[in-house]
Structure 1
Amino acid sequence: MSSNTPKQAIRLITKSLWKSGAEELYKTSIKRTSHNHKSVFSTCNPTQRRTYANESVTAARSRSHANPMLNGVSMLQWFFDEVRPDEREVRYWMKYFSQATDPRKPFAVIQLSEDVFRQEEQEQRAKEKGDVKRTILETLSLSMYFLQENKMNVILLVGCSTSSPHHQAAREQISKNIRKLVDRLEESGTHSTPIFDGGHLFNTDQNFRIESLNTPQLDWLIRHANIPVIGCVGESCEGRLGTIQLDESTLSLSAYTKPLKVLMLNADGGIKDDTGQRVTTVFLPKESELQKFAGQPWWNPDVEDRFTKVWGMLKVLPKQSSYVITSARDVLTELLTQRGVGTMFKRVVPVKKYKSLQDPLSDGQAEPKILLDVLPALVASAFEKSASKSYWNLLPADLDAVYLTDDVKACAIVRHLPMMPGVAYLDKFAVSREERGNFNIEILWQQLKHDYKSLFWRSRHDNIFNNWYEARSDGVVKVGYYHIFWFGLSSADINTIVTQCKKLPDSFDGERLTIVK
């Protein structure tokens, strides 16, 4: 990467933010940053972008001089080397940053598996021989430094996979691992607070199962800027100390703090299938549907146990939260990019398929409703304008299917057009504003991909979903006010679908667009 990369990256961020209309979101994020704690993404107004780039790089570079782990490069350059984001992801960073500024709520609860510390010992020996540039805990510590600089609070948990109430050696090992992690955090410039033997946070029964949390103590830890590094050790009502299972500690803390992310960090990364390929995303609509994964080649008793624990955790978290299994090396890439590098679990709303606008909804309402009762309002909410009456009157003639989430927050309307009898047309993909950024739309899209081998659709040139559409399509043609997307079509079909899209009537009241030929 050239020496100009940080400046180019800063200009890219600024251009993308103001171009995408995220100015207010960005200003809000900056205003919340304290005056004596400058973020590596601190900025001025858009009329001073050149000065902003120079100042940001200078500030980041000055901090790197006191950070031996960066080997002389700036934190900003290390971040772009490590994560390698693209322009579309900048919007997502700022959303995460703005959500993570509440000091009463951690951005993430992170548990470290025991194999991370075993890997650290191996890599430390290799580093002494010159075979490794940076160990796994050093990389993790730099990631924690970056999050702390941007006021994204986290909690780190260190423990054992199984509880050992009478095993003194297990508690000693936890303390040793905490000391090792805190030393690495300190070397990276990250401020942390070690909590040995649980720090009276976990109140347990005589079998060392958690009964309650010492919430005043936990609240005090969260309020301070330091990252808590907590040992998974509990205290029984008799005053005895014993180790608590790492997953149980994570569940208890997550249920109370409601983080956006829960991460299980290991040395190997996400779940792999029998060919070694990563399982990227797992959507869990209902607990009863866990067994649908039993036929997957990567399914085994250990994975089943992990899925059950993950579901238990997702049940107590806000619906926008997710659980991730990834390597301790890849925290920033997992948190701050769409592609990720681990396996992400997300609880989503089930999607139902309807064949007619007159189909009844199975939503448990006291007064039964039909699909047509809810679709117009949802479409109007998503597009911020109402579809015309003629649109709804003509739709039944060529309607193929409607997909609707159970919470009536997102839908897809699919039609069959006369010139393309064998190919379906995605007429509407409507998502209410509060659902944007959540993964319910992803499960809706997966259902479409499952049911249709080919599909085409058009979107206004200023639609905020265009980047998202492009990432999931085989191609796009830009014609006048519209972008036309498709997947599963041959090159010979492209001219036909473009012609079809140009001839389609307007859907919304008062909309009259001139298509450039």
Structure 2
Amino acid sequence: MPSYTPACCQLAAKLLRSETRKARSYATIRSLRETPPPEIDDIPSDNDFILSILRANASSRDAKPYFASFGPRPQAPRPAPVLPQRDESIPVESREPAVVTEHPKVSPLIASIIDPVVRRTALVKVQGPFTQVQLDSIARGMVHLEKLGLVSVIVVENDDIQRGEQDSRSVIIEDTMRLVSCLEKHGARARPVLGAIVRLGPKPGDSDSDRDVALEAHTLPSDLVPIRSALRSGEIPVIPPFALDSFCRSVRVDANDVLGALARGMVEAESQKSSSSQATAAADASIEASGEIDLTPLRLMIINREGGVPSYARAGFPHLLINVESESKHIRETFQESWRHTHKTALSNLALAKTCLAYMPPTSSAVMVSHRSQSSLIGNLITNRPAVSSSLPHALLQGNRKLTQHTPTLIRRGLPIRVVRTVEEIDRIKMNALLEQSFGRTLEEKDFYDRLKHTLDFVVIAGDYAGAAIVTNEPCSDLSQPISYLDKFAVLPNHQGDGTVDFLWVALHDESYGLGHPFSANPNGGKEGQGEGRDLVWRSRANNPVNKWYFERSSGHVRMGDWVLFWCDAEKRLKVEQGRRGRAGLSYVEEWEEGRLGSWMNVVQKIPSSWRK
């Protein structure tokens, strides 16, 4: 029986209350749109929605980004009401008794779930063609997301109808209207925006050096009026891929061009609106009062028939998490020829994600998902993490039943990853700031770097010292080679939750205990998969809250007083030994494992602290 977290249970409880209210007013609202009300069976079941939330299995920590984005904004305290002065000429016994009304206090956490104050937007590419059943499934997912505060701005595409074909415009418009009908059938309000809202060509005033990402189209603030109007009215805008050319004709273009232009245009429009506000508090109050939606997209969702980007490391199963900043080139280079037939648009969609994420906030993400896995979008919204962590041991990922051809691929802007091997290559000022902010302690700088001069093996650095993993070679007289010891693993607090932790650990895996496998050949300035993996050892305080994360990624652990010793076995050695044994498999303790725990503990316990007392 799975254990459901308080965050999930509160989300479920919210629906039982809010959906009852919604059902009462549903017929009245729909009648204003001059369409007959849907049959009651056509409205998506609350149970399906609640189960989708519970399946996300989000911990309170996982759900924090959701509450931060969709919870009520802090408001200035309201001034106390001015009461009329008491007339002292009236006898006390003649005065009417004061009536004191006490309103029950609602927990801020519950209030943020029951009534999200600030709704946010997602850019969605519905990449068909889809059957009616498939379209119903997609529409149901969009309705579920809207209930959680994420309103979709949908761009429709049809891969089977090429641009320039006869009747291509009419087919695209028909697909747009079908999706609008499906959304309304499942309880949403939708509006087709059939006019072109983007313009072909670069934006006036742009120079080649303004942006690293080249866009084929752009928008002006006035072009977004239909989208704002739909969102203010509580409607989901559904847009065909049309654009205005230089002769002001509406022509069909690639949906990716429309989405890229919208990503930039919506972010810039919201930024201009925020800068024109006199105060943030006043802006938040106006948003709450008018029902205005923050146009800045928090998610890019690509819903197609192919699913995610196939991975060479998972025998064609999708990538779980992609760092586009450092991995996109390698993914293109390792993309197999057969996938160009089974996943024809995977690379172009990856390029689309890279384009949009360049404009969207750093905490934003893109997800490529099959129409068969639309329910996973709720889990992604609440946790903003992949269905299965990419930093888990490879053996666990291979045998995980959650991994299928339809597992979504989560894409983050990410950071460049590099490996350095000498102390001289380390920027001490930035490294000191990273370590001290991450651990909340003061570094004993001289002793720390003096020790690294003699023991350093390598350092994995994420971005401009947003994160780092420092690995040393610790001499051990009982073993034939030094111990590979993870001395420090640190990520800046403001990068915890944006994927940096997973990206950093995957790079650490590729340079240490995962070395020698083809899937460790990621280009990060290190050995790129060449060499023999080594057991990786590290220690952590017994009360460290991060230990749960370490337990999931280590091969084993042993307690030693106030510390816990963790280790990851060299994966290639285990694989070779397992192949040699065949069906016999590995024993509980191999010959080369005997006595190593005692040797590790003796060495690790003697490693001096890096912090000032």
TM-score class, shorter-chain normalisation, is 0.7 to 0.9
User: Aligned-pair distance for 1:410?
Assistant: 1.0
- Distance, in Å, in 2 between the alignment partners of 1:315 and 1:71 is 35
Q: 1:99-498 to 2 correspondence within 5 Å?
A: 99-100=69-70, 106-115=120-129, 117=130, 120-121=131-132, 135-161=133-159, 169-195=167-193, 197-198=194-195, 200-204=196-200, 210-213=217-220, 214-236=223-245, 238-258=247-267, 259-272=297-310, 275-285=315-325, 290=329, 293-297=332-336, 300=340, 302=344, 303-334=346-377, 335-336=380-381, 338-340=385-387, 341-359=407-425, 371-389=427-445, 390-419=447-476, 421-453=481-513, 454-488=535-569, 492=594, 493-498=596-601
Q: Name whichever of 66-75 and 465-474 sits farther off.
A: 66-75
CA contact (8 A) 2:118 2:149 kept: no
The 3-state SS of whatever aligns with 1:349 is: coil
CA contact (8 A) 1:410 1:431 kept: yes
User: Aligned-pair distance for 1:356?
Assistant: 2.5
User: Aligned-pair distance for 1:455?
Assistant: 1.0
The 3-state SS of whatever aligns with 2:354 is: helix
1:235-283 Cα offsets, whole Å, 9 max, x none, are 4454533222111111111122342321211123113358542232333
Q: How many matched pairs?
A: 433
Q: 1:488 to 1:215 in 2, by over 3 A?
A: same
Q: 1:141 to 1:114 in 2, by over 3 A?
A: closer
Q: Name whichever of 444-453 and 183-192 sits farther off.
A: 183-192
Correspondence for 2:65 among 95, 117, 129: 95
1:144-179 Cα offsets, whole Å, 9 max, x none, are 222212212321111345997765622222222222
- Distance, in Å, in 2 between the alignment partners of 1:461 and 1:184 is 53
- Distance, in Å, in 2 between the alignment partners of 1:221 and 1:61 is 22
CA contact (8 A) 2:163 2:252 kept: yes
User: Aligned-pair distance for 1:470?
Assistant: 3.1
- Distance, in Å, in 2 between the alignment partners of 1:71 and 1:305 is 33
User: Aligned-pair distance for 1:407?
Assistant: 1.2
User: Aligned-pair distance for 1:387?
Assistant: 1.9
Given residue 491 of structure 2, which amino acid in structure 1 is its aligned partner? V
User: Aligned-pair distance for 1:228?
Assistant: 1.6
User: Aligned-pair distance for 1:504?
Assistant: 3.5
- Distance, in Å, in 1 between the alignment partners of 2:563 and 2:144 is 40
- Distance, in Å, in 1 between the alignment partners of 2:545 and 2:230 is 39
Q: 1:210 to 1:416 in 2, by over 3 A?
A: closer
Q: Name whichever of 278-287 and 185-194 sits farther off.
A: 278-287
Q: Which residue of 1 aligns with 2:36?
A: none
Q: 1:297 to 1:241 in 2, by over 3 A?
A: closer
Q: Which residue of 2 aligns with 1:127?
A: none
User: Aligned-pair distance for 1:305?
Assistant: 4.3
- Distance, in Å, in 1 between the alignment partners of 2:306 and 2:21 is 31
User: Aligned-pair distance for 1:223?
Assistant: 4.3
CA contact (8 A) 1:164 1:242 kept: no
CA contact (8 A) 1:161 1:245 kept: no
CA contact (8 A) 1:160 1:243 kept: no
Q: Which residue of 2 aligns with 1:49?
A: none
The 3-state SS of whatever aligns with 1:113 is: strand
- Distance, in Å, in 1 between the alignment partners of 2:599 and 2:8 is 38
CA contact (8 A) 1:280 1:344 kept: yes
TM-score (norm 1): 0.72
Q: 1:465 to 1:136 in 2, by over 3 A?
A: farther
Given residue 456 of structure 2, which amino acid in structure 1 is its aligned partner? L
1:446-482 Cα offsets, whole Å, 9 max, x none, are 2211111221222334545334333332234455544
Given residue 188 of structure 2, which amino acid in structure 1 is its aligned partner? T
Q: 1:162 to 1:428 in 2, by over 3 A?
A: same
CA contact (8 A) 1:270 1:342 kept: yes
Q: Which residue of 2 aligns with 1:36?
A: none
Q: 1:76 to 1:483 in 2, by over 3 A?
A: farther
State, as a whole percentage, how many aligned pairs show the same letter: 22
- Distance, in Å, in 2 between the alignment partners of 1:353 and 1:495 is 31
Q: Which residue of 1 aligns with 2:101?
A: none
Does residue 79 in structure 1 map to residue 52 in structure 2?
yes
User: Aligned-pair distance for 1:378?
Assistant: 1.4
CA contact (8 A) 1:386 1:508 kept: yes
The 3-state SS of whatever aligns with 2:423 is: coil
Given residue 277 of structure 1, which amino acid in structure 2 is its aligned partner? F
CA contact (8 A) 2:325 2:415 kept: yes
Q: Name whichever of 212-221 and 294-303 sits farther off.
A: 294-303
CA contact (8 A) 2:483 2:600 kept: no
CA contact (8 A) 1:163 1:245 kept: no
CA contact (8 A) 2:423 2:449 kept: no
The 3-state SS of whatever aligns with 1:285 is: helix
Q: CA RMSD in A?
A: 3.6
TM-score (norm 2): 0.62
Does residue 506 in structure 1 map to residue 609 in structure 2?
yes
The 3-state SS of whatever aligns with 2:612 is: coil
- Distance, in Å, in 1 between the alignment partners of 2:233 and 2:44 is 29
Q: Structure 2: which 5+ runs fail to align?
A: 27-39, 74-116, 202-215, 268-296, 388-406, 514-534, 571-589
Given residue 347 of structure 1, which amino acid in structure 2 is its aligned partner? R
Given residue 241 of structure 2, which amino acid in structure 1 is its aligned partner? C
Q: 1:95 to 1:305 in 2, by over 3 A?
A: closer
CA contact (8 A) 1:105 1:222 kept: no
- Distance, in Å, in 1 between the alignment partners of 2:324 and 2:432 is 28
- Distance, in Å, in 1 between the alignment partners of 2:424 and 2:311 is 43
CA contact (8 A) 1:310 1:345 kept: yes
CA contact (8 A) 1:290 1:307 kept: no
- Distance, in Å, in 2 between the alignment partners of 1:378 and 1:271 is 33
Q: 1:348 to 1:99 in 2, by over 3 A?
A: same
CA contact (8 A) 1:163 1:243 kept: no
Q: Name whichever of 295-304 and 394-403 sits farther off.
A: 295-304
- Distance, in Å, in 2 between the alignment partners of 1:71 and 1:203 is 37
- Distance, in Å, in 2 between the alignment partners of 1:461 and 1:236 is 64
Q: 1:225 to 1:469 in 2, by over 3 A?
A: farther
Q: 1:46-61 to 2 correspondence within 5 Å?
A: 56=14, 58-59=16-17
- Distance, in Å, in 2 between the alignment partners of 1:313 and 1:71 is 31
Q: Name whichever of 216-225 and 57-66 sits farther off.
A: 57-66
- Distance, in Å, in 1 between the alignment partners of 2:4 and 2:331 is 43
